[in-house]
């Protein structure tokens, strides 16, 4: 790959919607309520706050290229996300007024890969390379202990995407392959997530989606079942969500947030998330 071709691929990555929509759903803009049940709890108790939200203040990106062969180039795209997690919770259980607003700084990293195949050897680099496949987006805080183990999307009616960790296939989403989920706007999608944790108590798991210029949709995935595997617990969270109406390429981000992050004033932010590309038509 020539320096000119490398510059073209970097420019392509900067302008490609599929490779640049994974961070957008992560920015809530402010603390707001989610649709969990059971009401809020006071600061420091074992429950969930009245409102919470991530505010992204800075995103930096780096791209590294690997060339397994003369006909293939793989870009590893790493983003560092910095901001604050806002938490709003009452001091007393008898009220739902915003009495306490806590801000916790966080730094998260998300990594995804893009595979390009050579289609020519001309002087024009745009005619030499084609995006062939993209990987799952994996991210979270460096010290996060929550492990997303399996993720399933099923459009109603439509196709199903099922991913397990460790990845059975590093390239589950082919650019010219129907395995990139395509759904009609404003249709229902069933989502199921399996999460491994050392904590017997359920954590906060949400599905995020959205696009630039509008705050994303954040939907709680309620706990449906619990099993024990060795010294860990496998929690399964499920819900049905509705895809937005706007057509284009987007990411659905499944995020698990450590309970202490939202319940303990002094605990640091601990998260883990996967991002899955999809197309609304």
pLDDT digits (tens, 9 = 90+) for 241-270: 877 667 777 788 899 998 888 878 888 999
The pLDDT of residue 75 is 96
The label of the residue with tokens 């791209």 reads 63
Number of structural domains (the chain) is 1
Question: What is the chain's mean pLDDT, rounded?
Answer: 81
Question: Which DSSP category does 17 fall into?
Answer: H
Q: How far is it, in rounded angstroms, from Cα 34 to Cα 230?
A: 32
Confidence grade of residue 46 (pLDDT, cut at 50, 70, 90): very low
pLDDT digits (tens, 9 = 90+) for 48-59: 666 788 899 999
Which residues, 6+ apart, have CB-to-CB distance to 260 below 8 Å? 267, 270
- CB–CB of 166/150 below 8 Å? no
- CB–CB of 256/271 below 8 Å? yes
- CB–CB of 59/23 below 8 Å? yes
Torsion of CA 191, 192, 193, 194, to 10 degrees: -170
The pLDDT of residue 47 is 52
Nearest to 244 by CA among 192, 183, 161, 153: 183
The pLDDT of residue 72 is 95
Nearest to 161 by CA among 189, 188, 199, 133: 189
Section 102-127 average pLDDT = 93
CB atoms under 10 Å from CB of 76, counted, come to 14
Q: What is the CATH number of the domain that holds 64?
A: 2.60.40.10
Q: Which domain holds residue 141?
A: 3-280
pTM for this predicted structure: 0.84
Rg of the chain, C-alpha, whole Å: 20
The pLDDT of residue 67 is 94
Q: How far is it, in rounded angstroms, from Cα 199 to Cα 195?
A: 11
Residue 157: asked if its preceding bond is cis (omega within 30°), the reply is yes
């Amino acid at each position: 790959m020539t320096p000119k071709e490398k510059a073209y691929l970097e420019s392509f990555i900067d302008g490609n919607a599929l490779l640049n929509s994974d961070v957008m759903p992560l920015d809530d803009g402010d603390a707001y309520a989610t649709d969990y049940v059971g009401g809020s709890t006071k600061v420091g108790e074992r429950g969930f706050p009245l409102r919470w939200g991530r505010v992204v203040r800075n995103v930096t990106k780096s791209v590294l290229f690997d060339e397994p062969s003369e006909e293939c180039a793989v870009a590893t795209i790493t983003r560092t996300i910095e901001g604050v997690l806002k938490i709003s919770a009452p001091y007393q259980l008898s009220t739902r007024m915003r009495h306490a607003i806590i801000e916790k700084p966080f730094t998260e990293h998300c990594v995804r890969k893009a595979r390009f195949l050579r289609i020519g050897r001309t002087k024009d680099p745009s005619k030499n390379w084609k995006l062939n496949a993209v990987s799952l987006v994996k991210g979270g805080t460096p010290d996060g202990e929550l492990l997303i183990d399996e993720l399933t999307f099923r459009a109603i009616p439509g196709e199903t995407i099922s991913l397990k960790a460790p990845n059975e296939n590093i390239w589950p989403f082919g650019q010219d392959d129907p395995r990139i989920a395509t759904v009609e706007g404003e249709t229902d999608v069933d989502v199921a997530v399996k999460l491994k944790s050392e904590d017997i108590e359920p954590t906060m798991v949400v599905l995020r989606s959205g696009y630039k210029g509008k705050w994303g949709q954040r939907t709680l995935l309620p706990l449906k079942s619990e099993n024990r595997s060795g010294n860990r617990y496998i929690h399964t969270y499920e819900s049905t969500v509705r895809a937005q109406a706007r057509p284009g390429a987007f990411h659905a981000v499944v995020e698990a947030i450590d309970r202490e992050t939202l319940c303990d004033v002094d605990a640091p932010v601990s998260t883990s998330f996967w991002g899955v590309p999809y197309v609304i038509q």
